Amino acid sequence: MAIPGRIRAILGSIGPGLIIASVCLGPGSVTTASKIGAEYGYMLIWVVVLASAAMMMYTAMGARFGATQSRSFLQAVADRYGRWFAVLIGLASFLMSASFQFGNNLGVTTATATITGDWASRTLSHLLGRPVVEEQVWPLVFTGAALLMVLFAKDLYRVVERVMIVLVLIMIGAFLANLVVARPDLASAAEGLVPRIPPGGGGTTVIAAMVGTTFVLHACLYQSYLVQSKGWRLPDVRKGLVDSIVGIALLATISVLIMLTSAAALKPRGIVIADAAEMALQLQAAFGPASKAIFCLGFWSAAFSSIPVNALVGGGLLADGLGLGHRMDQKWPRRLTLAIMLIGMVVAMMPQENRANALVIAQAATMLAVPAVGVGMFLMLNDRSVMGRFANSWRQNVLAGFGLVLVLVLSVATYGKLIDQIGKVRDQWRSPEPAGSTAEASPEPEPPGSD
């Protein structure tokens, strides 16, 4: 059956935006949406909408730059503002991607182990004659699969695009299926579009977490590279806009689907969850084992889709910031991509206290990266000597300015918490626990913007 021309045109205008959505739809996004829905119900849907609007604006800005310029973004930054600024953005983005990567590895481990149990670790423990835990098995398996894709794909962009489209569709199908079973209150959901702050002291924190997992600025920046990799040029500016809208709209839709499911299934029962694995188990208790399996399939897709793409983002931006190439099939972008994958895998396999210390360092990188990327994109897209008639209009700058202020405020808001965590890590290094101590391990800090 022939596809109507309008639908064919829309399908031909998507790809990079879905790849960006797959970066943001990581285990952090799924966990945050699940926890917020269980605790606050439908109240914070408006946060997803506002954060997605800002994300959509900056993703479209990245696409517009990519389609209208022959240079890469960070090469243009180096030419216009100095190599130091390009290196700053690239290095901070690399560290931020590395910090997200171990969370992606733990996400695929959680999703897989929730379905399969501990058979893999028990089998390996028996074969090796020493204890093995799940965190030492699945990161090796799935990071290994992603490494093979990056190393041996002949047309890496096309392979990544096709794989991410499939995984995003799996996420939509899985989370939509659970939503149908949960039967949310649509009237209450509509009320959630009206901005309200939850009572109590934790409202600002959960809003910051939701914004941080939805509005991921270095992913917006990488949209310009994906558009150039796809081969879109000046006549394709509108395709870049459509692609950005579709990709980020799907990101928002999936986050809302998860939040609605959690609000409908768990909030009325007074169940507050700690993580996505607990969300899956609670769905099983409410609706049967099929709901748990379907949710874990979506959660696994979210985590695994982020493993290769998140690494490509950080590796590509650092390579370009250093002036070592920007295309994902070039030598240095691939090398730095592989470095992020290996860092994420190794940290995920570490004991919990070491992961917590690594995450504190990563949070410092995030505080540096987010403002640097935001300021860099805002300056470049308003620079008429570079963008010409494709520079931001004042209307576009209203939303772009809102997004920039939003990330700056969130960075400042997390500053005090980060300083406290750095102090705890420093005290740990100065006064290590004596051998055999039974002191309870400190919980891992929450990443401010983990995808």
Instruction: To the nearest 10°, report the CA torsion of 108, 38, 23, 144.
Output: 0
DSSP conformational letter for 234: G
249-282 pLDDT per residue, tens:
999 999 999 999 999 998 888 888 877 778 888 8
Rounded distance between C-alpha atoms, residue 370 and residue 362, angstroms: 12
How far lies 28's CA from each of 216, 227, 302, in Å? 12, 26, 9
What pLDDT does residue 448 have? 42
Query: In terms of CATH, what superfamily is 12-430?
Result: Amino acid/polyamine transporter I (1.20.1740.10)
pLDDT digits (tens, 9 = 90+) for 358-386: 666 665 666 666 888 999 999 999 999 99
Mean of the pLDDT values across residues 111-116?
83
Q: 87-106 pLDDT, tens per residue?
A: 999 998 998 898 889 889 98
* pLDDT above 60: residue 442: no
SS3 annotation, 316-351? HHHHHHCCCCCCCCCHHHHHHHHHHHHHHHHHHCCC
Residue 167 pLDDT level (bands cut at 50, 70, 90): very high
Give the dihedral sign, CA 64/403/55/49: negative
> With 60 as the cut, is the pLDDT of residue 175 above it?
yes
The residue whose two tokens read 């895998």 is 345
Which pLDDT does position 277 carry in this prediction? 78
Residue 336 pLDDT more than 90?
Answer: yes
Residue 127 vs residue 171, higher pLDDT: 171
Kindly indicate the confidence band of residue 190, based on its pLDDT and cuts at 50, 70 and 90: very high
Mean pLDDT, the chain, rounded, equals 85
**Lowest-confidence segment of 4-18, 87-101, 189-203, 325-339 by average pLDDT:** 4-18
Q: Which residues are CB-contacts of 311 (< 8 A; sequence separation ≥ 6)?
A: 97, 101, 146, 150, 337, 338, 340, 341, 344
pLDDT band at 441 (very low <50, low <70, confident <90, very high): very low
pLDDT of 191 over the 60 cut: yes
Rounded to whole angstroms, the Cα distance separating 5 from 392 reads: 31
Angle at 86 between CA 13 and CA 355, to 5 degrees: 85
CB-CB contact of 311 with 23 (8 Å): no
Mean pLDDT for the stretch of residues 221-247: 94
pLDDT, average across residues 81-91 = 95
* Residue listed under structure tokens 């055999």: 436
- To the question of pTM greater than 0.85 for the whole model, the response is yes
What is the DSSP secondary-structure string of 107-143? HHHHHHHHHHTTHHHHHHHHHHTS---GGGTHHHHHH
What is the model's pLDDT at position 417? 65
Q: Is the predicted pLDDT of residue 212 greater than 80, yes or no?
A: yes
Higher pLDDT residue, 337 or 96? 337
**In Å, how far from its chain's centre is CA 434?**
37
Helix (H) or strand (E) holding 404: helix 394-413
Query: Across residues 50-75, what is the average pLDDT?
Result: 97
| pLDDT value for 364 | 61
In the chain, domain spans: 12-430
pLDDT at position 289: 84
Q: What local confidence, expressed as pLDDT, does residue 407 receive? A: 87
pLDDT at 419 > cutoff 80: no
* pLDDT value, residue 171: 93
